Chains A and B, each alone.
Chain A
Amino acid sequence: MKRRRRVATALLLATATALAPPAARRPLTRLGAVDLEAETPASNIRNFAIIAHIDHGKSTLADRMLETTATVAARDMQAQLLDSMDLERERGITIKLNAARMAYEKDGEPYVLNLIDTPGHVDFSYEVSRSLAACEGALLVVDAAQGVQAQTLANVYLALENDLEIIPVLNKIDLPAAEPERVAEEIESTIGLDCTDAILASAKSGLGIGDVLDAIVERVPPPSDDQEKPTRCLIFDSKFDAYQGVVTYFRVVDGTGIAKGDKVKFLATGKTHDITEVGVMVPERIPVSDRALKPGEVGYFVASIKSVDDARVGDTVTVVKSQSHAVSTDEAEPLPGYAEATPMVFAGVFPTDADQYNALRDALGKLKLNDAALRYEAENSPAMGFGFRCGFLGLLHMEIVQERLEREYDVDLIITAPSVVYKVVPRQKNSEAVVEKVMKGEALKEGLIQEASEEDTPTVLVVDNPSRMPDKDRQQHTLEPYVRLEVIAPTEYTGPLMDLANERRGELVDMKYLTPTRTTVIYQMPLAEVITDFFDQVKSRTRGYASMEYALSGYRESPLVRLDVMINKELAAPLSTVVHEQDAQAAGKVLVRKLKEFIPRQMFKVPIQACVGANIVASVQLSAMRKDVLAKCYGGDISRKKKLLQKQAKGKKRMKAMGKVTVPQEAFMAVLNLRDSGGD
């Protein structure tokens, strides 16, 4: 059996080589002398994005295209140029977008190709959708050995929604394990995309790059060029620059364009600003001062904006006054698809050392200038001291913020376990109708009222901190966010995956064979179950062969209860969590057992209890520390023992006092997974 498979692979490899056009050998058209800033008619502009799974070669492909079009001299080439944050380069993922304008000549005709990069993680799917909206086409890069992944699929659907021309590129065809034919079939069957003209490439070795560039020119439609309409620009990214303030990245959609000196209006915020600099990205910013950027062009502007919150991704910019070019007096309509960033995951962020509170506040303020999705508000508790309740788009976003705070701003943090946003509706007149509306995601009156009221429409209580979940005995509806979750994995792992999803309160929606050996399973699942160690479990149960994707699908009513922790008879609010009623006891048992492991022995016996309301559902006892002494300490020992004590003092500092009990950082993450995963 094994032997036969090897033969089959060899055959496929041979086919792949035969299929591969001799692209690498063809002389490339280099346009090093072309003026990248020069005006180009819309018919010669191509705007495109690259859709790819992590590690499928997006960044390498982008680098090769920049090199080939001589946009970037080889000596300036840093590996993976587009990912400009350290963190991005380290993790090999794109967090914030960037763009690059390339000059390319085909059949004697000069073209401008604008690559608009997209972030590669589910947390940032809104940003992805706005980047795609700024394009007419997209390269779908799929690893010819690994095949389609869930992440890719999600972004392809976003691209299709935006009417993009999709060009499939099978990358890494020079790998021994590459099976371009199988993968092409997979793309056809899962996405319904014709792969007859799929490009075979190896970004690493430069194979097929010319074909990719040619295909962009030939197949991606040029942008429309309606100069009669009022000018409208779509913001697909904005960044805070310490010297220039916010730099807004945009695509001109229609109108007479946008130039230095124009007064512009942001339609979502209604604010106006004067543009002090307009330019293009090659990919570094080059100012263009002698002309307006016209429909189809991609560029940036600077306009003394202080926070990215005032230049939100997805917002429409229109020109209200210009000295250099005609401006339509018609009222501009906002471009479709704008949405405000909604944090899905909340966590308490506290400085390890109370003295660092001000430093943390300043750091969050600075981060916020560059991260419109980040939310924070002051929070304090007797146990944790002063800190912040922060909202994030997802777990990766949370991790990024944590790392940036610690790395760039040098603040030591204790972060509580992340939680989702629950909604609670008091049972009263019309409450059923309100629940319906919450489930559909309709806008409603939200507030802090927990009681039933005489009013016709009850107020919805928004709970982003588990400790604020009202007691379960109240007459109320409790709702939690659900996601549509898709996992693609080899068929042999479908069983374990479905077991896992069932344990996590998942409801099977669909199961499809992508190919005889690969299956996709689709579930409706509470988001709260996904933001635990769910993805780790998916990976471990599929030996790393699965890819996963999810998107918020709405709210559902669930019987939820608040599980509290009492340490030494005192409520430890930061450890409160919200669980399904049926899971409360089991979760409580796991939680107290974990806490017992994490909390060092104290000077006295410490009961650790998990409670729902007044009911103790689980309880353990941490026995008292018996001694902590260095019996012998003579001349030679002092230095060594002093070091031990200094270490002990430092460790103590990193803990938080819960009443009289000191609790180390790890304990706050104990609530992350409250399932007894005995299988591991």
Chain B
Amino acid sequence: MRLVATALAASALRPTPTLQPQASGLYAHLPFCRRRCFYCDFPVVVAGDAVKEDRVAHYVSLLERELSKQPRSSKPLATVYLGGGTPSLVEPRFIKQLLDAIDAKHGISSKAEITLECDPGTFDAAKLQKYVDAGVTRVSLGCQSFDDEALEAAGRAHRRQDALDAVQAVKRVGPRHGWSLDLISGLPGTTPEGWMETLHEAHSLNPPHVSSYDLQVEEGTAFGKWYSDGESNGRPPLPQDEESADAYRVASSFWRSRGYLHYEVSSYARTEGEKSRHNSAYWKPRASWLGLGLGAASSEQGARFSRPRKMKDYEAWVADGAIVPESSPPHGADALEDELLTSLRTAAGIDLTRVRDVYSSEYERAVRRGAQEAIELGLAVVEGEVLKLTDPDGFLFSNYALAAVFGEVGDVCV
């Protein structure tokens, strides 16, 4: 009996092949940066302080060509996210050209959240006003820190004053869907006191949204090279795990005690309505979103595709017709793991009745088994039928908890 039910559930989940994407959001990548920050492993194009217009024009035309090859979305887009790189290095007329092209192709809903990533020191109020006139409704501001030494040690091009000026500019223009303040904890040279100051300074600016990342030293980055041997080699030292873990805990209690919603591992919103709508879509099961540009990822009901990360390869790919290979969405353990990975990042957690209904009761039991240790350690809780990681400990050890659950889910024989 259960077998039949499982089979039915599985067939219900299989997507009906459709030419029209189900996506409600689109991510477009604008890779230009003044310089590469020492921690960055994103696909960027280092352009110096002034980006040559013809390079931008050429790139935007590439995006337009890719757009022209995409199947039209079945409904107008509810969110657009222009990320980078440093999109605010791109002149507003190009942003307008791009948004117009996206609108012409897929349609952008009149209430859409359109986010532009901006770096302090690359725009003023007048420029921002032009972005808003072009359609931008939300700004994600890459402040990272208010500590000049930490900013310098991280290879950032801006300083504290630039960040404060940028916030004033954003406030003056007042984008419709507000703005987000991006911070990075655990940067080299930061002290617990320095981090507290950064938090206080950030709070005094009353941001509607805060993204607070714990620094991750990635292979292949400058930090990866410098700090991989555990030595600082004459540079400001990387904080000990203990300190950066504390920084994370401090940030969590700091923002929550000030009424912010800690709705995802690294995201805080002042109110329910000020959560990032675009990012929230990433954390939903079987999400669909469109991708556009260098290194951008797209997803069709969980079947993901990443565009080439090197400009040459991307150009060639577009020239070849920008073909997104057809692939069926993940199913079984594979799909459940995606869902666990994304859902457990959020404060909402994962609904176990959904796991039972969509996957099987066997999978549900596996998830519960795998979560047992985390529950005993206080990293996770089951409230009603919802499994959630605790804040901050569960979030801080989310890999540990997830790996245990993955271990059980991966062992379920189908």
Contact = CB atoms under 8 A, between A and B. Distances in A.
Interface stretch (A73-81, A144-152, A527-535, A633-641): A633-641
A627 B299 CA distance: 30
Given A626-B241, A646-B406, A648-B399, A631 B337 contact: no
A632 B289 contact: no
Contact of A645 (B244, B248, B279, B402): B402
B85 interface: no
B286 interface: no
Interface string B79-115: 0000000000000000000000000000000000000
Interface string A644-680: 1110111111000000000000000000000000000
Interface in B212-232: 213-216
Contact of B396 (A629, A633, A636, A644): A629
Nearest to A646: B406
A649 B244 CA distance: 24
Nearest to B333: A646
A645 B299 contact: no
Given A635-B282, A638-B304, A638-B338, A627 B244 contact: yes
B266 A652 contact: no
Contacts of A11: none
A632 B142 CA distance: 14
A649 B403 contact: yes
Interface in A597-629: 603, 625-629
A578 to B, nearest CB: 34
Interface string B330-347: 000000011001100100
A651 B291 CA distance: 34
A642 interface: yes
B397 A652 contact: no
Interface string B231-261: 0000000001110110010000000000000
Q: Size band of the B side of the interface?
A: 35 or more
Contacts of B377: 603
Interface in B191-217: 213-216
A199 to B, nearest CB: 59
B404 interface: yes
B398 interface: yes
A645 B289 contact: no
A630 interface: yes
A641 B337 CA distance: 11
Contacts of A644: 399
A642 B337 contact: yes
Contact of B213 (A626, A632, A639, A648): A632
Given A630-B216, A635-B297, A638-B341, A652 B241 contact: no
Given A634-B282, A635-B304, A646 B337 contact: yes
A645 B399 contact: yes
A627 B214 contact: yes
B397 A645 contact: no
Residue among B289, B291, B342, B399 having the largest count of chain A Cβ atoms under 10 Å: B399
Contacts of B403: 645, 648-649, 651-652
A661 to B, nearest CB: 12
A629 B337 contact: no
Contacts of A631: 213-216, 265-266
B286 to A, nearest CB: 12
A627 B216 contact: no
Interface of A: 603, 625-639, 641-642, 644-646, 648-653
